Amino acid sequence: MPDPNGFLRHGRRLPARRPVPVRISDWREVYPPAGAELIREQATRCMDCGIPFCHSETAGCPLANRIPDWNDLVRTGNWDAAVETLHATNNFPEFTGRLCPAPCEAACVLGIAGGDPVTIKQVEVEIADAAVARGLPPRPASASSGRSVAVVGSGPAGLAAAQQLARAGHAVTVYERDDAIGGLLRYGIPDFKLEKRHIDARLAQLLAEGVVFRTGVNIGVDVTAEQLREQHDAVLLACGALQGRDTPTTPGRQLRGVHQAMAHLVAANRVVAAAGEDPPAPATLPDGTPIDAAGKHVVIIGGGDTAADCLGVAHRQGAVGVHQLDLYPRPSQARDEARDPWPTWPWILREYPAHEEGGERVFAVAVQEFVDDGTGAVRAVRVAEVTVEKRDGRRVVTPVPGTERELPADLVLLAVGFDGTEEQPLLAQFGLTRNARGAIDSRADWQTGADGVFVAGDMHRGASLIVWAIAEGRAAAAAIHTYLGGPGTLPAPVHPTSHPLAV
Ligand SMILES: Cc1cc2nc3c(=O)[nH]c(=O)nc-3n(C[C@H](O)[C@H](O)[C@H](O)COP(=O)(O)OP(=O)(O)OC[C@H]3O[C@@H](n4cnc5c(N)ncnc54)[C@H](O)[C@@H]3O)c2cc1C
Ligand code: SF4
């Protein structure tokens, strides 16, 4: 039984982040390991509350991670059992423990009335890292089912499904059009949030479990949907939601130096991946155009994960100044109980480690124009303060007269969200169309309109979170296993579409 008084003896504590001047001079992760003693202390704060909302798929963790159980196993020093319990619901806790926004913590009973929740995510990552340090034992299936599954896309949704299906005895091939496996974990999210060795350690386990990886294969172009269906008994589409939203009507959008955020992040990630090469790889777009913040005034448009990642990258590349623009007013730091009562996910100011590294956040502004330097390159961004309101279900943005000003800008990064999955040949080949949100619909059994073709992750729910991608990958794998005739059922979250964080 957990310690019912631990939270009275111990306050919430996280490991100190690496000092800013040190960490922006390299690409390594911001957080050092917490150490067993701190984690044991923090796990002790988990009380034996009657209903652990943190663990609930509908309010807390979309994976239904058995949080109180593994907290207590850590408290009692039972690390092997903690590793087992965590992996029972989550294929990749080393990713979620580092990157999840932790709706579980927002739903922790200790957080009621402004209290400090248990450091659930930190405990999770320490258990995951302990598992990797012990060596991740492969768990190959004892017998083959004789059935084969194609997984298209190697992000967390595709990888979670691949692991579940391979362990159930199916022959799984993961097709990825990039040159490396991992989806957004590999070339979207920077190393200071997730060092790529974590992906590689997990891939070694999947390989040993029999998963086949084929990189550099664009399904719909290099291999047609028909060919894929001939070669496999079922297909899972997990192609993400990589259609970047744009601002095509803003004057000056065509200027040199105005780019999609993902172009910048992918180029930067590729440089880090090639570290040690001589000469070092320059950061360039696929067409060879340089894209690097070194010595530049940078303006990032957007307020989410992608924008914060661009901010951290810009500082590490040596930007001379960075502004990050947000359309909405600065949220409050504390939960508004009337609007977002516990245990729902609150709308509060999200401070990422990148924000303590420098730059200026500007709220309640909208770009009116990207200003030309006379040679066709951007030299500034003209912004105005705005009010934002909902009218007839539509967002109406109104500039405040007399508030326009210019911010210097040699590099502008658009991090204004994603418009769903990309329009690409495989959709028509499978007879699928994007819905109003740009996503691909499924039935309750995760099957699309095409028989034997399933969908999961961002491609299904729109741009979302890693924890959701894993949850949907597990749920779709369970559905595919049933479609292929079993035997039995695979474990999966029960209601992965009913969470308050759902996009
Ligand atoms: C910059 C950035 C930072 C983020 N930070 C966080 C964070 O901190 N925490 C968090 O929880 N979430 C974060 N997210 C969101 C998270 O990364 C995604 O929700 C998650 O990766 C979705 O997983 P997925 O498997 O559905 O798709 P993806 O990870 O997008 O993977 C899809 C894969 O499919 C491949 N593919 C597409 N079409 C084809 C084809 N025709 N043939 C072969 N392969 C194909 C793509 O190349 C890609 O590799 C972030 C997203 C971005 C963009
Ligand atoms: S995956 Fe996210 S929500 Fe679930 S326990 Fe981990 S941090 Fe919490």
What does the block give as tokens for 277?
């090469």
Give the binding-site residues of ligand 2, using a 6 Å CB cut-off: 61, 63, 65, 67, 96, 100, 102-104, 120-121, 124, 467
User: Sorting pLDDT into bands at 50, 70 and 90, what band is 2?
Assistant: confident
239: closest CA among 15, 455, 471, 475? Answer: 455
Distance between Cα 214 and ligand 2 center (Å): 30
73: closest CA among 131, 168, 135, 2? Answer: 2
Mind listing the pLDDT tens digit for each residue in 33-43?
888 899 999 99
Share of the chain residues as helix, strand and coil, in percent rounded to the nearest 5 = 35, 15, 50
Domain 148-242+419-483, second-level architecture: 3-Layer(bba) Sandwich (3.50)
Q: Which of 9-13, 65-69, 236-240, 287-291 is least confident? A: 287-291
User: Sorting pLDDT into bands at 50, 70 and 90, what band is 503?
Assistant: very low
Give me the pLDDT at residue 191, please: 96
What does the block give as tokens for 378?
């951007």
Residue 66 has pLDDT above 50, yes or no: yes
In contact, 98 and 194? CB cutoff 8 Å: yes
Q: How much is the average pLDDT of 367-390?
A: 97
Report which bound ligand comes closest to the CA of 466: 1
- If residue 297 lies in a helix (H) or strand (E), which one and from where to where? strand 297-301
Q: What's the rounded Cα separation, in Å, for the pair 458 and 284? A: 26
The one-letter amino acid at 176? E
Give me the pLDDT at residue 407, please: 98
Give me the pLDDT at residue 497, please: 61
- If residue 405 lies in a helix (H) or strand (E), which one and from where to where? strand 405-408
In contact, 148 and 173? CB cutoff 8 Å: yes
Give me the pLDDT at residue 354, please: 96
Mind listing the pLDDT tens digit for each residue in 218-260?
999 999 999 999 999 999 999 999 999 999 999 999 999 999 9
* Domain residue ranges of the chain, discontinuous segments joined by +: 6-134, 148-242+419-483, 258-414
Q: What's the rounded Cα separation, in Å, for the pair 439 and 372? A: 36
Give me the pLDDT at residue 495, please: 63
CATH superfamily of 258-414: FAD/NAD(P)-binding domain (3.50.50.60)
Residue with the larger pLDDT of the pair 333 and 316: 316
Report which bound ligand comes closest to the CA of 307: 1
Residue 125: CB within 6 Å of ligand 1? no
CATH class of the domain defined by 6-134: mainly alpha
Residue whose Cα lies nearest atom 2 of ligand 2: it is 102
Report which bound ligand comes closest to the CA of 424: 1
Provide the β-strand partners of residue 365.
Answer: 385
Residue with the larger pLDDT of the pair 171 and 115: 171
Give me the pLDDT at residue 392, please: 86
Provide the β-strand partners of residue 414.
Answer: 260, 301
User: Sorting pLDDT into bands at 50, 70 and 90, what band is 368?
Assistant: very high
Residue 472: CB within 6 Å of ligand 1? no
In contact, 304 and 463? CB cutoff 8 Å: no
- 148-242+419-483 and 258-414 in the same fold: yes
Residue 1 has pLDDT above 80, yes or no: no
Burial of 323 (0-12, 13-18, 19+ CB in 10 A): buried
What number does the ligand 2 atom closest to the CA of 60 have?
3
Q: How much is the average pLDDT of 362-391?
A: 97
Q: How much is the average pLDDT of 83-101?
A: 97
Distance between Cα 478 and ligand 1 center (Å): 21
Q: How much is the average pLDDT of 285-290?
A: 86
Give me the pLDDT at residue 337, please: 87
Q: How much is the average pLDDT of 459-486?
A: 96
Mind listing the pLDDT tens digit for each residue in 473-493?
999 999 999 999 988 899 888
Q: Which of 341-350, 376-385, 398-407, 411-420 is least confident? A: 341-350
Ligand 2, pocket-test mutation among 42, 89, 104, 105, most atoms within 8 A of CB: 104
DSSP labels, 413-455: EE---B-SS---HHHHHHT----TTS-----TTSB-SSTTEEE
In contact, 202 and 92? CB cutoff 8 Å: yes
Residue whose Cα lies nearest atom 1 of ligand 2: it is 96
What number does the ligand 1 atom closest to the CA of 424 have?
41
Q: What's the rounded Cα separation, in Å, for the pair 131 and 32? A: 17
Distance between Cα 355 and ligand 1 center (Å): 23
487: closest CA among 89, 90, 143? Answer: 143
User: Sorting pLDDT into bands at 50, 70 and 90, what band is 499?
Assistant: low
* pTM, 2 dp: 0.96
Q: Which residues contact 321 (CB under 8 A, 6 or more apart)?
A: 297, 298, 359, 360, 408
Residue 334 has pLDDT above 90, yes or no: no
Q: What is the DSSP letter of 304?
A: S
Give the mean pLDDT of the chain. Answer: 94
Ligand 2, pocket-test mutation among 120, 344, 464, most atoms within 8 A of CB: 120
